[in-house]
Amino acid sequence: MTKPRTTGLKPWISLSGIGVFAVLLLAVAPLVLTDHWLNNLGKYCCWAIAAVGIGLAWGRGGMLVMGQGVFFALGAYSMAMHLTLETAGDRIPGFMVLYDPLAPLPMFWEPFRSAGFTLLAIVLLPVVVAGALGYALFKRRVKGAYFAILTQALAVALAVLISSTIRETGGDTGLSDFKYFFGFVLNDPANRQMVYLIAAALLIVCLLAVWQFYRSRFGELLVATRDAEERVRFLGYDPANIKLVAFIVSALMASIGGALFVPIVGIITPAEIGAAASIFMIAGVALGGRASLFGPALGAMAVGWGQSSLGSTWPDGWTYVLGLLFIVVILFLPNGLSSLPARLAAARRKPDVPPTPAIAAAELEEARS
């Protein structure tokens, strides 16, 4: 695996790249795309927000987070509960009445009536959960495959829990039929455009945040921890704290992505947050380039687009494409498409020597750690 210190580009080039991306998403897209595709693009933006976080934790931090669905769910269900209550007004949400007409509103739903509490929950819940989980795991030096399997197990557990609590969370059918979004009528195209713009703007904010992270001292430490955790420890830093920060930030981003997913897509079900969905979120990051700045976001959007175009016309084929994508990208291009130009350039410079020695050295380092 090649491990570029930064994205390989000068910071100001990356920054202007974000600027171009912002103009495309915020100004050009609403003008040229139909309402339907703008809504789809909003959905991809939500996945991209989560993907930017995965890029931070996995690409830069070396923590393969296979359970981002958990944090996606925290944001999504917080938002969905609020929108459901807003739609229901003073009454009990429709799906609950269906199972038991006299059932009271579950206790944990009550605070989500307040818009402020909901927004706070979307931010604080993932921070608290990821903080507690990450603290426990990283302090015990749980890493590598163990960490990946444990996070995936949590995503499975949460999906099963939600599926089985049909009265409280809507179960497998999920929560849907939202009419209002913080007072705005969701059916109105103008309001839908506004929700899209919020998602796109937050994606840009997340990109700016990781841009700043990557060029900061913290970003250097994070990469150092990924590549040689013991050396970082011997230098007097606590790798657990460094990883914890990255993990919390990535969880927060997943939660924000989930929260915006709900008004844009209009439904949230356990299928959107379980094991398969968590792996789906990783696919885009792997494709785009886990350690690069734009790779995760662009990769997630590409995979999202693939799912909604190919996945709806030819669902069987889409699964094969997704599976092959994992195999081909990880096997031949572990740093994703974003590393392609550099590798091509390296191959052109030395046509007889494939650009593997540097990669092998880096891998050896990883195997030793």
**H helices within the chain, ranges in order?**
11-23, 29-32, 35-54, 68-88, 94-99, 115-139, 144-164, 166-169, 189-215, 217-227, 229-234, 239-265, 275-288, 295-313, 315-332, 340-349, 357-368
Distances (CA, A) of 329 to 80, 101, 226: 35, 52, 21
- Determine if 361 is a binding residue for other proteins (CB under 8 A): no
31 vs 367, beta carbon nearer other proteins: 367
- Determine if 118 is a binding residue for other proteins (CB under 8 A): no
The answer to whether the CB of 244 falls within 8 A of the CB of 134 is: yes
- Exactly one of 142, 205, 208, 342 binds other proteins (CB under 8 A); that residue is 142
48 vs 322, beta carbon nearer other proteins: 322
29 vs 325, beta carbon nearer other proteins: 325
Please, how many CA atoms are within 13 Å of residue 16, restricted to the half-sphere of its CB?
4
Piece in contact with other proteins (CB under 8 A), picked from 27-35, 78-86, 88-96, 144-152: 144-152
1 vs 197, beta carbon nearer other proteins: 1
Give CA–CA dist 167/154, Å, rounded.
22
Q: How many Cβ atoms are within 10 Å of 134's Cβ, its own excluded?
A: 25
- Determine if 358 is a binding residue for other proteins (CB under 8 A): no
Piece in contact with other proteins (CB under 8 A), picked from 49-57, 87-95, 106-114, 314-322: 314-322
47 vs 280, beta carbon nearer other proteins: 280
- Determine if 132 is a binding residue for other proteins (CB under 8 A): no
- Exactly one of 5, 10, 91, 141 binds other proteins (CB under 8 A); that residue is 141
Interaction residues for other proteins, span 321-340 (CB under 8 A) = 322-327, 330-331, 334
CB within 8 A of 221, min separation 6: which ones?
A: 232, 237, 242
- Determine if 16 is a binding residue for other proteins (CB under 8 A): no
The answer to whether the CB of 78 falls within 8 A of the CB of 315 is: no
Question: What is the phi-psi region of residue 3: left when phi exceeds 0, alpha when psi lies from -120 to 50, beta otherwise?
Answer: beta
Supply the minimum distance, in Å, between the C-beta of residue 85 and other proteins: 25
- Exactly one of 29, 221, 282, 291 binds other proteins (CB under 8 A); that residue is 282
- Determine if 232 is a binding residue for other proteins (CB under 8 A): no
Give CA–CA dist 318/365, Å, rounded.
36
Residue of 351, 341, 306 whose CA lies nearest to 44: 306
20 vs 160, beta carbon nearer other proteins: 160
Interaction residues for other proteins, span 71-110 (CB under 8 A) = none
Give CA–CA dist 336/69, Å, rounded.
22
- Exactly one of 49, 50, 56, 64 binds other proteins (CB under 8 A); that residue is 64
Residue of 68, 127, 50 whose CA lies nearest to 275: 68
Torsion of CA 103, 108, 112, 113, to 10 degrees: 40
257 vs 270, beta carbon nearer other proteins: 270
Piece in contact with other proteins (CB under 8 A), picked from 2-10, 95-103, 251-259, 359-367: 359-367
Q: How many Cβ atoms are within 10 Å of 300's Cβ, its own excluded?
A: 31
- Exactly one of 320, 344, 347, 356 binds other proteins (CB under 8 A); that residue is 320
Interaction residues for other proteins, span 171-230 (CB under 8 A) = 230
Binding region for other proteins (CB under 8 A):
1, 62, 64, 136-137, 140-142, 144-146, 148-150, 152-154, 156-158, 160-161, 163-164, 230, 275, 279, 282, 286, 316, 319-320, 322-327, 330-331, 334, 363-364, 366-367, 369
